[in-house]
């Protein structure tokens, strides 16, 4: 999904289809004349997200309503409790024997109802809190690379022909990336050092860099306190796994529940959060650590296929780690509470499944290919996801407007009326859209009717750090925090796209005000540790750029 910034520009695609002249003249209804010279027509297709206002699938509206609990049929436990309470009330006020009250029977019924209420309370879903998160940023100028430096490096390798170099130059200039992104040393070396050792070194630098800051800021002892560990990285899956590398580094407990998610694309970070939530519900009192990253060293493409070159121009080095908890005591120190996760998977359709595909080119070089239809695929997945999410988060007034629009179109058959697209700015104060590329962000902004301020965090994260895959959402949330914009009660919407094809959402509510950060760290060791988790500490004052990328 990442590299769509350039591939999905707004030029038009053309496809030529040959028809006999008689067919062209008669609109396809005439018969073909023998020996007639075929003619062609040109079909123009615009590369952009679909207009969500043109079609709404009611199936996903119903799914969202069921997820929201309205109108959801009562659960068996509630039915039993209601029946018991009704029986107790009937025994207490029996119309046939108004003055013959069976106190013992009523007490028994009420005790049974109270017991069921207590059981339901004990088994209810526990709140899941985001205590703290940390994003990776190398120390100083280490691993830093500018756009000109990237293009010079690309040309000096000698692997690319003139057309491939020109194509990468064009994409890089339009990508929305700035001059302070990061690439691992194995890629920047002349010649490149592409080895398992270099890939492991990159993974260790990113993961341990995030985790060291996270554990220092939260005071968590990883060898004793962490009960759940989830690591997601799509393209680098060594043995032992990345999760095992973390366990080994921090000498974690032998009963730690570790998971390693691979091949799930740029939206895997939210999949990991969803998995952590379920595990925390099943393991009361546990702490979960989620590490989201991508590895570049062994996945740099050195061929000339344009569909595979895009990732070179957009992907950069990065990662994030988050500490999640379901312990009630952590609510006082946590930053956010997880409200909803909505996952959409379009992999059942072949076109969606193959839109982001790792394969070999004609010379056997491995790369990730992005299909021309990727923007349409992403738009369809996004439409499904937000249609399901809407009933969970939108104010009642917005849902009623949307319902009225559907009734006018579907029941009263007023087809000329455009469906009402809810204003999601009334549901969220902060938007974190996966920084897959400049064109992707612009199209999402247009489709959802968001303002420049709503997209500032996503665009600035792309400019400062590039596409860091699944961790980009955390760089964006860190930007909002660094600016001091997160206040208690604010709602945050994270939207991730990934191969498969997937679109996932997570909704958080801020539990407290998050103070801004600056290059001059605050007083006290605790404040310095908090600030160290935020990757914007040395650059937030220069964002957004005057030219606004």
Q: How far apart are the first and last CA of the chain?
A: 20
Indicate if 533 belongs to the active site: no
CA-to-CA separations, 36 to 16, 22, 29, 117, 315, in angstroms, rounded = 18, 8, 16, 81, 51
Distance CA 312, CA 299 (A): 9
Length of the chain: 549
Please name every residue paired with 292 in a beta bridge, in sequence order, or none if there are none: 232, 320
Is 260 tagged catalytic?
no
Instruction: Specify whether 504 is catalytic.
Output: no
Q: Does 430 participate in catalysis according to the annotation? A: yes
Residue with tokens 């709503």: 454
Structure tokens at 250: 């921090």
User: Which residue of the set 232, 299, 467, 504 is catalytic?
Assistant: 467
Query: What DSSP state is assigned to residue 408?
Result: I
Long-range pairs, 515-524, Cβ under 8 A, ≥24: 515/484, 516/481, 516/482, 516/483, 516/484, 516/540, 517/481, 517/482
Out of 434, 460, 503, 534, the active site residue is 434
Q: Give yes or no: 434 in active site.
A: yes
Instruction: Please report the sign of the dihedral spanned by the C-alpha atoms of residue 325, residue 330, residue 333, residue 339.
Output: positive
Of 260, 299, 385, 430, which one is the catalytic site residue? 430
Strand-strand pairing, 257-261 and 181-182: unpaired
Report whether 168 contacts 154 (CB < 8 A).
yes
Annotated catalytic residue, options 143, 340, 463, 490: 463
* CA angle, 220 then 141 then 484, to 5°: 55
Residue 539 to residue 544: CA distance in whole angstroms: 10
Q: Which one of the listed residues 106, 135, 210, 266 is annotated catalytic?
A: 266
Place of tokens 């596409």: 467
HSE-up of 466 (CA within 13 Å, CB side)?
Answer: 28
Please give the structure tokens belonging to residue 305: 């296929």
Give the DSSP per-residue string, 341-354.
EEEEE-TTSHHHHT
Query: How large is the greatest C-alpha to C-alpha distance in the chain, in angstroms?
Result: 103
For the chain, state the CA radius of gyration. Answer: 27
534 carries an active-site annotation: no
Query: Would you please indicate which residues are annotated as catalytic (active-site) residues?
Result: 266, 345, 430, 434, 463, 467
């Amino acid at each position: 999904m990442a590299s769509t910034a350039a591939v999905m520009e707004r030029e038009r695609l053309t496809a030529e289809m040959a028809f006999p002249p008689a067919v062209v003249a008669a609109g396809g209804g005439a018969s073909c004349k023998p020996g007639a010279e075929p003619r062609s027509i040109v079909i123009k297709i615009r590369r952009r997200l679909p207009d969500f206002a043109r079609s709404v699938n009611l199936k996903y509206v119903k799914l969202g309503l069921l997820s929201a609990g309205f109108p959801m049929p009562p659960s068996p436990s509630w039915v039993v409790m209601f029946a018991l309470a009704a029986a107790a009330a009937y025994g207490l006020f029996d119309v046939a024997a108004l003055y013959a009250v069976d106190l013992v029977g009523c007490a028994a019924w009420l005790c049974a109802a109270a017991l069921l209420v207590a059981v339901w309370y004990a088994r209810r879903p526990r709140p899941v809190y985001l205590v703290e998160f940390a994003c990776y940023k190398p120390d100083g100028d280490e691993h830093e690379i500018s756009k000109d430096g990237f293009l010079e490096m690309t040309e000096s390798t000698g692997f690319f022909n003139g057309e491939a170099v020109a194509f990468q130059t064009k994409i890089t200039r339009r990508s929305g990336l700035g001059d302070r992104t990061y690439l691992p040393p194995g890629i920047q070396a002349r010649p490149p050092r592409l080895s398992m050792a270099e890939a492991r070194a990159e993974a260790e630098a990113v993961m341990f860099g995030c985790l060291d800051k996270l554990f220092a800021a939260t005071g968590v002892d990883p060898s004793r306190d962490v009960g759940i560990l989830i690591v997601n990285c799509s393209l680098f899956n060594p043995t032992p796994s990345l999760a095992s590398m973390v366990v080994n580094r921090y000498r974690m407990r032998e009963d730690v529940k570790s998971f390693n998610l691979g091949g799930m694309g740029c939206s895997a970070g939210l999949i990991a959060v969803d998995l952590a939530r379920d595990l925390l519900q099943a393991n009361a009192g546990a702490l979960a650590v989620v590490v989201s990253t991508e590895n570049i060293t062994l996945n740099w493409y050195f061929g000339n296929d344009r569909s595979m070159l895009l990732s070179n121009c957009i992907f950069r080095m990065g990662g994030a780690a988050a500490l999640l908890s379901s312990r009630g005591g952590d609510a006082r120190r946590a930053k956010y509470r997880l409200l909803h996760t909505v996952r959409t998977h379009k992999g059942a359709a072949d076109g969606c499944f193959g839109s982001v595909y790792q394969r070999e080119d004609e010379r056997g070089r491995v790369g990730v290919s992005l299909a021309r239809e990727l923007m349409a695929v992403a738009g369809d997945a996004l439409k499904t996801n937000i249609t399901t999410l809407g009933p969970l988060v939108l104010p009642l007034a917005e849902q009623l407007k949307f319902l009225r629009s559907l009734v006018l179109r579907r029941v009263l058959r007023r087809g000329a009326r455009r469906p009402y697209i809810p204003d999601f700015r009334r549901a969220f104060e902060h938007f974190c859209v996966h920084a897959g590329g400049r064109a992707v962000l612009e199209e999402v902004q247009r489709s959802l009717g968001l303002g420049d301020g709503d997209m500032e965090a996503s665009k600035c994260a792309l400019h400062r750090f590039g596409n860091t895959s699944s961790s980009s959402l955390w760089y964006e949330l860190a930007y909002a925090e660094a600016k001091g914009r997160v206040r208690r009660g604010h709602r945050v919407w994270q939207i991730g796209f990934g191969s498969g094809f997937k679109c996932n959402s997570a909704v958080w509510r801020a539990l407290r005000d998050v103070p801004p950060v600056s290059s001059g760290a605050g007083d006290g060791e605790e404040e310095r540790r908090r600030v160290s988790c935020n990757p914007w500490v040395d650059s937030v004052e220069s964002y957004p750029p005057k030219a606004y990328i």
